[in-house]
Chain A
């Protein structure tokens, strides 16, 4: 299996620009999670989807953040406009939660985002 694939691996952009992060989950997994990791705040859950439907977006920091999952094999996390404090590593993870979240989450290798 190819694992969870995230792109790009690195993104450097200027403040105010739109940023789009992409994720391809493992085939057959029906839950998808977006996390943000920083030194100060650790690992934070931003949003998660079950069967392509957003279930909990309470971790999304502001309206500047949005996430979509148009189909079972693709999700995006968008920041518009971006700010320097959004600089972090963003992870996507997927799991087969058909048995009630008993299965582990599989993480991609992340997108390291730097906003100048």
Chain B
């Protein structure tokens, strides 16, 4: 079985400060991990993914995420938050050995960046 948890429903950060949106996962094998962002009245947009290789993954809009196997985490980070980063963020996971099982999405974390 595979699952993903986003422990925070809401994250507030001041503009210019670093931001972190947390994600932990559970898979029986090796994980494929994704981050998506959803702006109001839009569909989810892909930000970045981890498949294999470097633990630090860089993605769109200056976001990056760090894969930590020992802590089973894949936290999303950005060094300096912008007001325009305010949105709903989803972490998703898939076990590489799960056949036809597609991604499992977390419940989402709402990020508010305050000017």
Contacts and interface: CB of A to CB of B under 8 A. Distances in A.
B51 A45 contact: no
Interface stretch (B10-18, B22-30, B74-82, B98-106): B98-106
A69 B25 CA distance: 32
B44 A91 contact: yes
Contacts of A28: none
Contacts of B41: 109-110
What band does the interface of chain A fall in when counting residues whose beta carbon is under 8 Å from B?
A: 20 to 34
Nearest to B92: A105
Q: Would you call the interface of chain A mostly helix, strand, loop, or mixed?
A: strand
A42 B46 contact: no
Contacts of A55: 100
A42 B49 contact: no
Interface of B: 32, 34, 36, 41-46, 49, 51, 90, 94, 96, 100-103, 105, 107-108
* Smallest CB-CB A-B distances: 10 pairs: A107-B43, A104-B46, A42-B107, A107-B44, A109-B43, A43-B105, A108-B43, A55-B100, A109-B42, A91-B43
19 contacts: A4-B43, A43-B44, A43-B90, A43-B105, A55-B100, A56-B100, A56-B101, A91-B43, A93-B43, A102-B32, A104-B36, A104-B49, A107-B44, A108-B43, A109-B42, A109-B43, A110-B41, A110-B42, A110-B43
A110 B39 CA distance: 12
Contacts of A33: 102
B45 A107 contact: yes
Nearest to B108: A42
Contacts of B36: 104, 107
A96 to B, nearest CB: 12
Contacts of A108: 43
Contacts of A93: 43-44
Interface in A88-116: 91, 93, 100-102, 104-110
Contacts of B90: 43
Contacts of A105: 44, 46, 103
